[in-house]
Structure 1
Amino acid sequence: MSRTLLFFVIAFCGQSGIAQQLVPADGAVITRTSILFEVPEVVGAKTYTYHIESAKGNTIDLTDDNHVLRVDGLSFGESYNWKVTALDSVGKTLYTYNQGFEIATSDFVNPKETRFHIVGASNNRKIKGLIFLDYSRVAITPDGKPVWFLPERESLKNKRLRDLKLTNRGTVTYLDALKCEESSLDGDLIWSTPDTSELTGESNDLYHHEFTLLSNGNYLALGKEFVPSELMINGAEVSKLPLSVIIEYSPEGKVVWSWSSSEFISNEDILAIGQKVGVGNTFGHMNAAYFDVKTGVIYASFRDLDCILTIEKESGKILQSYGDKIPSDTTTQGIDLFAKQHAPIKLRGDRLLFFNNNERNETSSVQIISEVTDENPKAEILWEFFCDFDSLRPAHSPRMGNALPLEDEHILVNMGKAARVFEVSPDKEVTWQCFPEIWDGGLNRWHPQPNYRTFNISSLYPYYHTVSLRNEKIRVYNEGSEDDTYIIRAYAEPKKRKKTKKVELTIEKGQFIDIQLSSLFNRKLKSKTVYVEVSSKNNPGLVVERSYLVR
């Protein structure tokens, strides 16, 4: 006699969303116009109808075969009711969910206060998805339309936030001088750096420039440390020397790894260079610490030293330096190639991409240089694009900026202080431009709005999946906007979870795979409850478990 799957129970869903609850929750106030609607799966449902209606009477009606659906194009400052109806194979209603929510508004997304002027969008452009702008506190589409803003809760008021970006688990990270934080899309605080520094004992680590959620669940931040000193600089004694420190925090807020720029810069270097210290920035002005997971190497950028270091994270050893040299550095790679640079990123083929601000009154550029390897003994400029291609903005940006790789070797460039974001192709065609601007009511005119960094991602929901039962098969549905790899475990007893069969498979965005439940077990199942667990490789915090009764 064949065994039949009689029912299932939703047991647990991880950090990015709770499958048992309705999302968005009834009465929720959210800050995005792109929403991932979710209801609990209904047994026997073949389709789900989605009806969204605004208080003004505008409606959206959609049908999907899953109990999760992303809807774009809603409006800030609107209230909505939404209804999801689960239907069986003949169209009979099995269950209906009905709730309401509100989308907030802000000057950040008010077109009378802030605008994102798009110029010269070419059919050849590769920019897609969303562009995050940190000083603007928004994510916009390539046509300049805001779809999300970070709400200004009390602790964030009147603060300039840096390095605003979306994580793989659908949260956002950012920093100001006193705190590094992770919050939900709607501004609910999830994690922040400790109030007291474990490294220095100071009230905090005076954060700057960089804050990133790592793939291992830890956090990487740039901070300051003040080293006791008796140096005489410009005729005055500097009792505390400000240096940069790279800090890795655990989710519990403990320091699990750190690296100080004192490993690189000596007192003799400081005296020889004669740079002012103790007046804001750290000596050398470290402005980036990019961690390449595949190689285990950190790329640390020192703006005022015109230098990029590669640091082996495990040992803290300096592997290479590119650019101009401090007196104690006797290497010869990359001298005079760039100046005042920001945000190095490793590309395929042992290449480094970064924004080259350049010396004062010289044209800024985007550079790709070769890294030193056994096969390539010399760092050289492989590709460079200068920012003097028109007169709409200054060709030189004295501060801030970054560059990001897009498809087909196109590059997204943020010029920082120059308040221009643009895309450039490998053959140096500018294929898209954005000019962020804010309204000055006193002077009755628009002003350029600089951004320290920009960030590009496919959507607000890059990695999200659901698990359901379809005709005695497990259906894993990739509802995210990125391809993802999933680890599937099936076990008959929770205590034997680690000894069970594990299947790993990749599903393209928007697609699903059906798996026969019996194929997940190495033996015939007796009458009992079985468990299925599906986790995302790119969003490890999202783990979906289901339990099924087999008879």
Structure 2
Amino acid sequence: MRRILALLMTGTLAVAACSEADPDEADAGAAPIADALTAEVSLEPGHELVGRLVVEHDEPTAPVIEVTGDERSFTIPVTGAATRHELPVAGLRAEQDYVITVRDGDEEVRLDLRTGRVPDDIPTLDIATAEVADMSDGLTMFNLLGAEGDDPGDDPVAGMLLIVDAAGEVVWYHRSNHPVGDARMLDDGTILHEYNDTGARRIDLFGRTLEEWGGDIITGPLLLDEHGRQVIGDDTVEVATDSMHHEVGMTDEGTLLALSTELRTYDDIPTGTCDDDADRGGTHELIVDVVVEYGSDGEVVAEYPLADHLDPVGDPRDQNICGLDFDDVFPNWLYRAQGHAEARDWTHANGAVVDPTGDNITVSVRHLDAILQIERATGDLVWRFGPGGDFAVEHPSDYPSYQHAPEWQDDGTLLLYDNGNRRASPPGAPEDAPPTSRAIQYRLDPDAGTAEVVWQRTSTVDGEPSFASFVGDADRLENGNVLITDGGYADRPDGITAQITEVVPDDSEAGGRIVFDLRIADERELIIYRAERIPTLYPTP
């Protein structure tokens, strides 16, 4: 990989509020100004878009730091006075010149920094639309999956996390040896992300791991990957659970909420539920999800096994045990690598969030086309949304199928991404109509037992309906727009494997107007699990 060295000027320059003082005036009694403020900046090793700014003063201080560039300027907040500050300068475009001004009272330091180029393995991003005036403010953060090479002799980078500005220019990136999944910016300016489907990390803008948690499988029998690399760090906090996958978030109580898995054996499952079940008999080892809540010290606070509410033996709604029968996909590899060769991905939950009351956890169970509401205090099932559940809809096509990422709205409605793999055809459409994906918003009335579709938008590529058979996301933005991630286009429309759009929702048949459209068309068939709009890279002081 070719790297361009940054052209930078590091210095220690203290300047008075006025211009140079006349020596005679100084002799007449003007107090000399001590050169107490010093600062220097350089590119962070291994990162072409992040500068490391070090500010020192002989007295505790909280300087004002301004970054000025041709395309944007911003202030880096400093929280708390200290004699030394070490700060990331992030949010910079590639191969651009920036001026960093550090001020403390009458003292000022000006530094120059030039960024390098984006690494070659980060794909080209195609920006089909960017109507900045109508977009919600901020930056867009998303992961990339599928970057690992096919050569077993490689030492592949399998995980990427990118942040782009409103024009789709990369302004920050993070690369890791193993896949990076769900990621979110925390209030303190650090990033919490799911890692390798088996752990979680909190990192800073330098890319340094600040905290790490791992399930007891990846910290034990599967500590090393197929390349002989240790998957997790030496200081990882072990959590007594099998995995951490698809979602890792912070609760209002300061605990972490994640999805995990467990292996259960079921007898007497009806045969014929999958094409290859005819000769298998009725006993199966099924991988079923568990919602786990744990503290930063790794102590498990609560567990909510989905097996408590699902029955693959006696409930026809739960007998889709087909899953993805591949050895190398999660969660199959986690258990098959330990000798459970026939372990099956049954429930495949992909979202778990605390509802607005704080009393319940809402879980998306992809393979069963179900959304479960579970009471936190008791673990009891409050309701089930989906075909055969507790809510009636106007037409069967109103139910989601193979959905992702439930998100509660301020008005009590539920927004989610509906992949649509097994969804019924809408009214007037032929039964064999090709599937489509959509972002959809529901008003659920548990008392009446009804679910009303209040808004939806079918995914499109250049105006044509599209289908993302796996992964995806839908987020409400601060200005009311919706950020939609069509993360896995298996059929590659126009060569596209993933797409992020921002939509101004309306009541039209289309569901709204696209104001931002980012596409990835890469020969590595990269996909995006989720995307988030973040207002800034820095915390508010």
- Alignment TM-score, normalising by the size of structure 1: 0.64
- 2:513 match: 430
1:275 to 2:321 alignment: yes
TM alignment of 1:298-309, pairs within 5 A: 298-309=361-372
Could you tell me how far apart the structure 2 residues matched to 1:409 and 1:43 are?
A: 46
Could you tell me how far apart the structure 2 residues matched to 1:161 and 1:270 are?
A: 35
The alpha carbon displacement at 1:359 in A equals 2.9
Amino acid at match of 2:164: I
Over 3 Å counting, the alpha-carbon distance change for 1:165 and 1:123 in structure 2 is closer
Q: Deviations over 1:501-542 (max 9, x none)?
A: xxxxxxxxxxxxxxxxxxxxxxxxxxxxxxxxxxxxxxxxxx
TM alignment of 1:95-494, pairs within 5 A: 106-107=118-119, 110=120, 113-122=122-131, 125-135=134-144, 137-150=161-174, 152=175, 156-157=176-177, 159-174=178-193, 175-196=195-216, 205-231=242-268, 234=277, 235-236=279-280, 238=283, 240-269=285-314, 273-276=319-322, 279=325, 280=332, 282-292=345-355, 294-325=357-388, 331-334=390-393, 336=396, 337-359=399-421, 361-374=434-447, 377-388=449-460, 390-391=462-463, 395-418=466-489, 419-427=498-506, 428-437=511-520, 439-440=522-523, 449-461=526-538, 463-465=539-541
TM alignment of 1:81-100, pairs within 5 A: 84-88=102-106, 93=107
The alpha carbon displacement at 1:171 in A equals 1.3
Over 3 Å counting, the alpha-carbon distance change for 1:125 and 1:197 in structure 2 is same
CA contact (8 A) 1:24 1:101 kept: no
CA contact (8 A) 1:166 1:172 kept: yes
CA contact (8 A) 2:102 2:109 kept: yes
Higher strand share: 1
Amino acid at match of 1:218: T
- Is the partner of 2:367 in helix, strand or coil? helix
Amino acid at match of 1:84: V
CA contact (8 A) 1:144 1:434 kept: no
- Is the partner of 1:276 in helix, strand or coil? coil
The alpha carbon displacement at 1:451 in A equals 0.5
Q: Deviations over 1:111-144 (max 9, x none)?
A: x852222223336623321111111520111210
Q: Deviations over 1:249-295 (max 9, x none)?
A: 11111111110111111242477725226943632221111223543
- Is the partner of 2:189 in helix, strand or coil? coil
Q: Deviations over 1:292-334 (max 9, x none)?
A: 3543321111112111111122221211111113xxx6x3445
Amino acid at match of 2:245: H
- 2:12 match: none
- Structure 1 stretch displaced more, 267-276 or 359-368: 267-276
Structure 2 gaps, min length 5: 1-36, 145-159, 224-240, 272-276, 326-331, 333-343, 423-433, 490-497
- Is the partner of 2:285 in helix, strand or coil? strand
The alpha carbon displacement at 1:423 in A equals 1.6
The alpha carbon displacement at 1:207 in A equals 2.9
The alpha carbon displacement at 1:417 in A equals 0.9
Could you tell me how far apart the structure 1 residues matched to 2:89 and 2:449 are?
A: 51
The alpha carbon displacement at 1:169 in A equals 1.6
- Is the partner of 2:184 in helix, strand or coil? strand
The alpha carbon displacement at 1:179 in A equals 2.0
Could you tell me how far apart the structure 2 residues matched to 1:122 and 1:147 are?
A: 19
Amino acid at match of 2:293: E
Higher RCO by CA contacts (8 Å cutoff, separation 6 or greater): 1
- Structure 1 stretch displaced more, 35-44 or 137-146: 35-44
Amino acid at match of 2:436: T
Over 3 Å counting, the alpha-carbon distance change for 1:23 and 1:349 in structure 2 is farther
Over 3 Å counting, the alpha-carbon distance change for 1:322 and 1:105 in structure 2 is same
The alpha carbon displacement at 1:87 in A equals 3.9
CA contact (8 A) 1:340 1:359 kept: yes
CA contact (8 A) 2:43 2:52 kept: no
Amino acid at match of 2:402: K
Amino acid at match of 2:456: E
CA contact (8 A) 1:401 1:415 kept: yes
Amino acid at match of 1:254: E
Corresponding pairs, count: 415
Over 3 Å counting, the alpha-carbon distance change for 1:340 and 1:149 in structure 2 is same
- Is the partner of 1:304 in helix, strand or coil? helix
The alpha carbon displacement at 1:97 in A equals 6.1
- Is the partner of 2:313 in helix, strand or coil? helix
User: % of aligned pairs identical?
Assistant: 20
Structure 1 gaps, min length 5: 1-20, 441-446, 466-551
Q: Deviations over 1:362-407 (max 9, x none)?
A: 2211111102255x65211111112247357x61111111100024
Over 3 Å counting, the alpha-carbon distance change for 1:180 and 1:318 in structure 2 is same
CA contact (8 A) 2:485 2:530 kept: yes
Could you tell me how far apart the structure 2 residues matched to 1:274 and 1:85 are?
A: 63
- Is the partner of 1:324 in helix, strand or coil? coil
Over 3 Å counting, the alpha-carbon distance change for 1:318 and 1:143 in structure 2 is same
